[in-house]
Chains A and B, each alone.
Chain A
């Protein structure tokens, strides 16, 4: 009886969380003028309209470029930081590790304001570069966590064997360590991309005037009216931010399966 209640509650909680999402997806196919029930028919009209809306397309492009750049930079930095922390006994490892992870623990608003104040202090203007920098700061911890966990699990002997066979440390890194880390690097990159793509809080603070990412664009649109286009946009976002990591996880699993250390 007790367990039945617990299960019932859990079910309700999930329902409460996912029902709105389901409603958005459902309504995005609604043929009606208004972005709400009742459904008057199934159509792709709002998707068509979405893809002819210049502002939204621009926002998509911005988000993509921002996400890609963030993923690239975060991954490179994250891999380097992980190598330094795990493989080389840099002094103050614990502290550096803490600082790298900290952006996850600090509320994003605080982080956003802090970075803004810092740049003001340096009297720099808001720019795409600064937005990118912000995204890198708070996606880096995820990359570091994922890559570090993997690196710890890769036995030193593989690298030592490569060195003993005549590969220098750089060759060893590219021939042995990097390929063995690849699944984690790939996963970290996807994490960074989706987190950047999804982000709104930091982006609102950091973006220069006139630049919109998809989330800030939705936000802006919502302030005027609730167009059914937003439902369609939401559906696309859900597809991207849920689908990409799932796809990535599947690919990473296959890669790991082949390597299987």
Chain B
């Protein structure tokens, strides 16, 4: 098991910089996710850690040792590729045993370890089959088994779940996390799916255009986005112009066009240093839509009108007009959802909001 450290690592392709100088530390045994939209440099970063790409600049350390000049086959990594890359001409047993062959593991020991890892991924009966005789989800598990059977220092996964259908993806998510937890391996996971990232990670690194936007635990990244990009990328957020007015020891008072005066705890505005223009971030699920005239404890209530309804079964997403702005609200359904055109009361509580300086946008 080992740590991974990136020191000012960057990658240029010709004149295009895919990854700007990036520093990152992944502690032993933790599950770190690189999250970001397509083309933001996640794969490039992962491939540099793997040794499949040479960084243009900077240094990469695995277990504290610089690996810049260490070829991939000497790095002792487990990699799971998006399309699994199981060797089609080898049986499942041969696929999994492949890495052991180059580590001088005896025949008996190999057989034992392959059996154990097949048990771990809950596919004990497929050893003699060829990859094409397995379903996508099964191939996925074998790819994982092949990567971890060699007891790598680090496990690298590039969108390993994206080729699976939605239900299977959620099952595999839990499964993958269970296995990772059980063997306690340092893991770098790449995805553009925020719910995957939130569900699985110890730490999330949000990337955009080759730069790290924010790094932190899932809850911290979700609840206290550091930039407007992060706020918008992780779940639906409403971004409203605001003016910071009074900075007290514990609280901040802000003035908004739509909700008047709101009071936020200071920890919800770590980047705010003084009075002035700012941005109020309100998550869609923190905008509560109630019948007209009704208010909520501790919330500012304003009248609004439902403009569109996106029914999702147990929840519903409203597009509500408040003044000159359309807000998104994601609410659990109590009885029946409101209908389009309904006049409602829109409620927001100060301590549910996050405040960002305007420059961070």
Residue ranges of A at the interface with B (Cβ–Cβ < 8 Å) = 155, 157-158, 160-169, 171-172, 175-176, 179-180, 258-261
Contact = CB atoms under 8 A, between A and B. Distances in A.
6 contacts: A157-B83, A161-B87, A162-B87, A164-B78, A166-B102, A167-B98
A261 B73 contact: no
Given A163-B73, A165-B98, A176 B79 contact: no
B315 interface: no
A166 B76 contact: yes
A164 B87 contact: no
B72 interface: yes
A179 B89 contact: yes
Given A259-B89, A260-B132, A161 B81 contact: yes
Contacts of A261: 88
Contacts of A172: 73
Contacts of B88: 158, 180, 259-261
Contact of B81 (A157, A166, A171): A157
Given A171-B102, A261-B88, A165 B83 contact: no
Given A155-B85, A165-B99, A166-B150, A160 B79 contact: yes
Contacts of A163: 52, 71-73
Closest 6 A-B residue pairs measured CB to CB? A165-B99, A157-B85, A166-B102, A164-B79, A161-B85, A157-B81
A117 B290 CA distance: 95
Contacts of B76: 166
B187 to A, nearest CB: 15
Contacts of B79: 160-161, 164
Nearest to B47: A160
B77 interface: yes
Nearest to A169: B73
A179 B76 CA distance: 25
Interface in B78-101: 78-79, 81, 83, 85-89, 98-99
Contacts of A175: 98
Q: Among the interface residues A164, A169, A258, which one has the most CB atoms of the partner chain B within 10 A?
A: A164
B146 A165 contact: yes
B103 interface: yes
Contacts of A167: 73, 98, 102
B78 to A, nearest CB: 7
Given A171-B102, A258-B89, 11 more contacts: A155-B83, A158-B85, A158-B87, A161-B85, A161-B87, A164-B147, A166-B102, A167-B73, A175-B98, A180-B88, A260-B88
Interface in B84-130: 85-89, 98-99, 102-103, 130
B150 A165 contact: yes
Contacts of A260: 88, 132
Contacts of A176: 87
B50 interface: yes
B154 to A, nearest CB: 11
Nearest to B96: A165
Contacts of A160: 52, 72, 79, 81, 85
Contacts of B72: 160, 163-164
A237 B185 CA distance: 64
